[in-house]
Amino acid sequence: MRVQAARIGKPHGIRGEVTVQLLTDDPETRFARGEVLILDPASPLAPEGTLTVAGARWNKSILVLRFEEVSDRNGAEALRNHHLLIDTEEAEETEGYYEHELTGLAVYAVDPEEWDRAGADAARARLGEPVGTVSGLQTLPTQDLLAVTLADGSESLVPFVAEIVPEVDLEAGRIIITPPPGLLDLNRDDADAPDRGDDDAQDGEPRP
């Protein structure tokens, strides 16, 4: 099946790099050098419908990707807001739920590493305040998305797959998510703003 792994944000520097907002909790594997990703929607930059990862690095908390098919800022700009999909049989789908069953459930966020390291029982025992409430379910051809209204009133879309939503407890009135960094900020106005640090300065790009 195909699942979304990231959304492409703004260009970073002048060499064709792009920032991405992650929709996977395993970026080191999904974006390793040589990995082939499906581009959605299609672009003339990817005549085969795919992009090949040429490099990946972290700029503070933002993942920056470079592709073999893109060599300059104009090409990077043309990819903005495109999605990167992966073909995988490992992405386990969640059980089927109706939207009315999920709407109103409290959403608790747990660090993915803590969930894996400490185990589900220990993580449940340390749940803090909910980060938001489920406000809807969007069914898409690639995967379902949970609409989550956060505490500040903004909305975030969370891929409804087992690796990011490991637990739905209708009786307890909650779901637990293990979001990768930046996922809950994905739809905010400043979510795809790159960190204009020393990297841009070294690329010779003028600062505003």
pLDDT tens over the chain, length 208 residues: 678 888 999 999 999 999 998 887 678 888 999 999 999 988 888 888 999 999 999 998 889 999 999 999 999 999 999 999 987 654 444 456 878 889 999 999 999 988 888 888 888 888 999 999 999 988 776 678 899 999 999 999 999 988 899 999 999 999 999 998 888 876 554 444 444 444 443 444 433 4
Question: How many domains would you assign to the chain?
Answer: 2
Q: What is the pLDDT of residue 68?
A: 96
Asked if residue 86 and residue 6 are part of one domain, the reply reads: yes
Q: What is the pLDDT of residue 88?
A: 64
Element holding 8 (H helix, E strand): strand 2-12
In a domain, 202, yes or no: no
In a domain, 197, yes or no: no
Beta bridge partners of 161: 93
In a domain, 26, yes or no: yes
Q: What is the pLDDT of residue 203?
A: 46
Residue in 79, 85, 107, 74 with CA at minimum distance from that of residue 35: 85
In a domain, 203, yes or no: no
Asked if residue 12 and residue 84 are part of one domain, the reply reads: yes
Asked if residue 66 and residue 116 are part of one domain, the reply reads: no
Asked if residue 105 and residue 66 are part of one domain, the reply reads: no
Answer with the one of 90, 124, 156 that is the final residue of a domain. 90
How many residues are recorded in the chain? Answer: 208
Neighbours of 151 (CB within 10 A): 11
Asked if residue 10 and residue 85 are part of one domain, the reply reads: yes
Asked if residue 152 and residue 86 are part of one domain, the reply reads: no
Q: Which residues span the domain enclosing 117?
A: 99-185
Q: What is the pLDDT of residue 144?
A: 84
Q: What is the pLDDT of residue 72?
A: 96
In a domain, 190, yes or no: no
Cβ-Cβ contacts under 8 Å for 26 (sequence gap 6 or more): 163
Q: What is the pLDDT of residue 197?
A: 46
Specify the DSSP class assigned to residue 184: G
CATH of the domain at 133: 2.30.30.240
Asked if residue 126 and residue 69 are part of one domain, the reply reads: no
Specify the DSSP class assigned to residue 161: B
Asked if residue 103 and residue 85 are part of one domain, the reply reads: no
Specify the DSSP class assigned to residue 142: S
DSSP 98-113: -HHHHTT-EEEE--HH
The whole-angstrom separation of Cα 148 and Cα 76 is 30
Asked if residue 71 and residue 103 are part of one domain, the reply reads: no
Convert 124-140 into a string of H (helix), E (strand) and C (coil): HHCCCCCCEEEEEEEEC
In a domain, 118, yes or no: yes
In a domain, 52, yes or no: yes
The whole-angstrom separation of Cα 12 and Cα 71 is 12
Asked if residue 159 and residue 129 are part of one domain, the reply reads: yes
Cβ-Cβ contacts under 8 Å for 33 (sequence gap 6 or more): 53, 54, 55, 56
Answer with the one of 71, 90, 109 that is the final residue of a domain. 90
CATH of the domain at 14: 2.40.30.60
Answer with the one of 64, 90, 116 that is the final residue of a domain. 90
Output phi, psi for 50, to 5 deg: -135, 160
Asked if residue 176 and residue 152 are part of one domain, the reply reads: yes
pTM given for the model: 0.54
Asked if residue 140 and residue 68 are part of one domain, the reply reads: no
